[in-house]
Structure 1
Amino acid sequence: MEIRTLQAEEFDAMIKLGEYAFQYRLSAEEKADAKMRFKPENIWGTFDEEGRLTAKLGLLHADIFVNGQRMPMAGIGGVATWPEYRRQGFVKQLLTHSLKVMNESGKLISMLHPFSFPFYRKFGFEMFGDYKKYVIPTDKLPSKEMTEGEVRRDTADIATLNQVYEAYAINYNGMMLRSEERWKHSILDDDGHTAVYYSSSGEPQGYLLYKAAKKELLVEEFVWLTEESRKALWTFISNHDSMVTQTVLAQMPADDALTYTLADPRITQEIVPYGMARIVNAASFVQAYAFHGSGVEQSLTVSLSDAHAPWNEGIWRWTLSADGKASVEAAGLQASADIQCDIQTLTTLMLGYKRPTELWRLGRLTGDAATIARLEQAIPSGQTFLLDYF
């Protein structure tokens, strides 16, 4: 078996495997568009002795926000194997190999959308966020309110949308930065509409991506920066009351407070686990992380286990400066550790999905109570969220 990136002439083999595994068919036009955007250097495959593609995965290179800072990330997607080659360890080898590639290229974290949470947990990935989905009957929509600005429908200016998106995304751990290409080919589509709210001074302060069909308004993205923009966009949604019987908000942050603002909060809402992540290089990630400064220098030793990224294994000494900047060095196998955890626990801890005290109570993070309390103070509280799918 051989592991390597695909070559340009192997596009059709990749598409055939993807279509079979995920049960879809591309039209001739869609296939031509995909071929034009095909980047073989980002697709890894396993090949049998006769050179036939047996399994594949794709890497999406993008930055994400963590505590308001950009972190280099590699997303994993399109993982597929022909049925006759399944359960032979091909995907395992691809995932292990891709972690090495990510580490060598300076990626600090990886993310994916799993077909199975238990499967990817075996490789050090862990769920890192949830989102809320709402189904709201038209008679329970928020009240219409007048605002000084205006909503402009079908303003698909990517620069404007991205300006608002990034100002919103920086507040959440895990949100991806989007390229113009991603906006064009993965976010916006011909069937959808946009609605952008501009303040009275002309500043874009929020937007909707939505579709209206079969008496339903489906809001795929509801992004707002000010209370004024939130009210204005809700009023825009409510103005569809003669067209639809319900509005579905497909994906909102887990800390969204919509029900508190409704006159009648008894609507359908669902909390959906969404996405998994794993730190690729723990030492580099911690050194790039923005801790809370305590005003004095402090240190702790961390025993970390990571079966699929051996460069993370061992006991590490974290030294946190007075202003929250970290330096990391190997402490040696004979050193005593203040806390112990695996790479999954460290990922959820650093992204803010779970707090140190909660992980300690769950038995996922071990150590003395005083060290856990110090860690609780050092790690900022942050809400995780991810709108993108890959």
Structure 2
Amino acid sequence: MENPHEHLRIKSVPVSDVEQFNDLLRYVFQVTNQDLIESGYEEGELVHAKQPILEKSDVIGWYNQAQLISQLAIYPCHVNIHGQIFKMAGLTGVGTYPEYAGHGLMHELVKVGLKRMRSHQQWISYLYPYSIPFYRKKGWEIMSDHLTFDIRDTQLPKQVPLKGYVERKEIDDPDIFKTYDRFAHQTHGAMIRDQLAWDEYWRWENEEERTAAIYYDENNEPIGYVIYWIAEEVFHIKEMIYLKQEARIGLWNFISAHYSMVTHVKGHIYKDEPIAFLLDDGDIKETIAPYFMARIVDVAEFLKVYPFDNVDVGIDFHFEITDPLATWNNGIFGLHFDPDGSFQLSDQAIGSAVKCDIQTLTTMLMSYQRPSYLQQIERLDADRASIRNLERLIPMETPYFSDYF
């Protein structure tokens, strides 16, 4: 019997196939014309809007002759990992038409994609998972959370006198970009946004329904902002960032000033900030869910530039890593620490062994989960001394990531 898939081929997806790329995305994720209209798109505008992404991204697909049937896009980004800026491969646009599902097409695409990421020196990859189990099998692991909250008008914080002030601005005001850039360069996990990243940040939202409020300190310097909209007596917060606690208080002063206009304030937080603890009446409704996943693409190269803490007191050890797809990550990675605070990486089994898979290594080095907890749930195999060493070496900063692609 003839193999129905023998004519399928993997190749790069050219920009000229942008309509096929978008048709596949819309089919797989069931994006309707009504969804597009509600997001502010006119007919045919999404194809035009996505074209710059294809021009900048590394898009790979399976073709049945001239028809694109399975695809993924690797979006080039930069992120802050504990103060070190890394090239990051944003995996997006993943999909296969259902009649071609179950034949390992995506498995092979991801393997090719990982090789492309490695060749572009993208030592880490992020993605938004439509299925956490699916991507865990491919080597990704949860690295950040998305918290939502609902505060009643009677629970809003009281006004606090400050020397700064708030101004309402358009969402594309230069002070928004300036403030976010400062924030991202001092916040672990955050995306360093270029113009294309900002375009993606707004992709599925109607910008006309958003407003920005910027907090300026007494020197007229922007040090925080909130992006919001008000509908049906609810103040909706899309994102609030601040460089100092003064800006946090000032922005909540601004929100509380809407007391007579709203009955609830609902919003989003992208790290484990204890908002309930900061309120006088902390009896609020909060929900938390996993948000983004990450994957180390090349363990050796990632470790070489990873900003370990306390390297001057580090104890030699070695990782023993297993990886389901990237064969170059399967093996031993020895770390030798010098008294002067430097360290060397080798393929020798020096010191004690720390055994784990690529998923566990990623979530641990991203500081989403701590070594002691990962050992407790048997995701990490190491002796007590190695766990104490890892707790000292890995910075204590949980990731913040509010983007979507």
Please state if 1:266 is matched with 2:283: yes
The DSSP-based 3-state class of the residue aligned with 1:190 is: helix
User: Is the CA contact (8 Å cut-off) linking 1:138 and 1:244 kept in structure 2?
Assistant: yes
Distance 1:127 1:357 in 2: 17
Report how far residue 114 of structure 1 moved.
0.7
User: Is the CA contact (8 Å cut-off) linking 1:287 and 1:325 kept in structure 2?
Assistant: no
User: Is the CA contact (8 Å cut-off) linking 1:293 and 1:321 kept in structure 2?
Assistant: no
The DSSP-based 3-state class of the residue aligned with 1:223 is: strand
Which segments of 5 or more consecutive residues in structure 1 lack a partner in the other structure? none
Residues 158 and 341 (structure 1), Cα distance of their counterparts in 2 relative to 1, 3 Å cut: farther
Distance 1:148 1:118 in 2: 49
Distance 2:229 2:106 in 1: 36
Give 1:106's match in structure 2, choosing from 117, 121, 125.
121
Distance 1:289 1:11 in 2: 37
Distance 2:296 2:311 in 1: 25
When the two chains are superposed, the root-mean-square deviation of aligned CA atoms in Å is 2.0
Please state if 1:235 is matched with 2:242: no
Aligned residues: 386
Distance 2:282 2:190 in 1: 28
Give 1:304's match in structure 2, choosing from 297, 321, 325.
321
Report how far residue 75 of structure 1 moved.
0.8
Give 1:2's match in structure 2, choosing from 9, 12, 19.
9
Aligned to 1:351: 366
User: Is the CA contact (8 Å cut-off) linking 1:158 and 1:180 kept in structure 2?
Assistant: no
Distance 1:261 1:297 in 2: 36
TM-score by length of 2: 0.90
Q: Which moved more, 1:23-32 or 1:214-223?
A: 23-32
* 1:1-390 equivalent positions in 2, closer than 5 A: 1-24=8-31, 25=33, 26=36, 27-28=42-43, 30-31=45-46, 33-34=48-49, 36-40=51-55, 41-48=57-64, 50-187=65-202, 189-254=207-272, 256-295=273-312, 298-322=315-339, 324-331=341-348, 338-390=353-405
The DSSP-based 3-state class of the residue aligned with 2:208 is: coil
Residues 72 and 158 (structure 1), Cα distance of their counterparts in 2 relative to 1, 3 Å cut: farther
Query: Could you list the per-position Cα deviations for residues 331-365 of structure 1 after superposition, in whole angstroms to 9, with x for gaps in the alignment?
Result: 27xx8862111101110111111111111111111
Residues 306 and 252 (structure 1), Cα distance of their counterparts in 2 relative to 1, 3 Å cut: closer
Query: Could you list the per-position Cα deviations for residues 216-262 of structure 1 after superposition, in whole angstroms to 9, with x for gaps in the alignment?
Result: 111010111122211110011111222221111122421x1221121
Distance 1:239 1:327 in 2: 55
Provide the identity percentage: 32
**Partner amino acid for 1:291?**
F
Distance 1:382 1:328 in 2: 24
Query: Could you list the per-position Cα deviations for residues 111-143 of structure 1 after superposition, in whole angstroms to 9, with x for gaps in the alignment?
Result: 111111111110111111223211111111111
Residues 132 and 33 (structure 1), Cα distance of their counterparts in 2 relative to 1, 3 Å cut: same
The DSSP-based 3-state class of the residue aligned with 1:58 is: strand
Report how far residue 150 of structure 1 moved.
1.4
Report how far residue 155 of structure 1 moved.
4.1
User: Is the CA contact (8 Å cut-off) linking 2:315 and 2:389 kept in structure 1?
Assistant: no
Report how far residue 171 of structure 1 moved.
4.3
User: Is the CA contact (8 Å cut-off) linking 2:144 and 2:270 kept in structure 1?
Assistant: no
